[in-house]
């Protein structure tokens, strides 16, 4: 399913702060530059609607970065939380991999993730059931029922 491209803007003036996060300006941070202006080495054309935001939790003092995108309806939506590796090439490569205009299927990815979570949740009870079934089979064989 190819979605129509929305109107492309050459420049977007993002606010200084967004939902309690400070916006990192391009030309001051290499990652912000590559996200908005492009990274030809990984095939990222750039998207001026995406901004890099820094957040610091006031309670824990933990800090991380987030990517927010100004969508076609004028609303900002968070598209990623970045912890640890802020290598610009890795981040822009992930943007390319998850670009719906390039065929990334969000529903399939969510379904796949949910299936893994469900399997991990059920694994302990499956082990217990398997052990109980083995004991039952052994007991039935011993009694001559099998």
**pLDDT surpassing 80 at residue 30:** yes
d(CA 61, CA 84): 15
Domain spans, the chain: 17-102
pLDDT digits (tens, 9 = 90+) for 116-145: 999 888 777 777 777 777 777 777 787 776
Mean pLDDT score across all residues of the chain: 84
Q: What is the reported pTM?
A: 0.68
pLDDT bracket for residue 51 (50, 70, 90): very high
- Which 3-state string (H, E, C) describes the chain? CCCCCCCCCCCCCCCCEECCEEEECCCCCHHHHHHHHCECCCCECCCCCEEEEEEECCCCCCEEEEEEEECCCCCEEEEEEECCCCCHHHHHHHHHHCCHHHCCCHHHHHHHHHHHHHHHHHHHHHHHHHHHHHHHHHHHHHCCCC
Please report the pLDDT score of residue 144 as a whole number: 74
pLDDT bracket for residue 1 (50, 70, 90): very low
């Amino acid at each position: 399913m190819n979605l129509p491209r929305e109107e492309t803007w050459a420049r977007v003036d993002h606010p200084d702060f967004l939902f309690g996060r400070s916006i990192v300006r391009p030309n001051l941070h290499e990652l912000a530059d590559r996200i908005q202006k492009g990274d030809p080495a990984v095939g990222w054309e750039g998207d001026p609607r995406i901004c890099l935001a820094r957040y610091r939790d006031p309670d824990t003092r933990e800090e991380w970065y987030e990517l927010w995108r100004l969508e076609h309806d004028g609303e900002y939506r968070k598209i990623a939380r970045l912890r640890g590796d802020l290598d610009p090439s890795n981040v822009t490569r992930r943007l390319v991999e998850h670009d719906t205009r390039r065929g990334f299927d969000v529903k399939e990815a969510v379904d796949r993730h949910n299936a893994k979570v469900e399997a991990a949740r059920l694994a302990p009870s499956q082990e217990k059931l398997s052990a109980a079934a083995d004991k039952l089979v052994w007991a039935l064989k011993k009694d001559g029922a099998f």
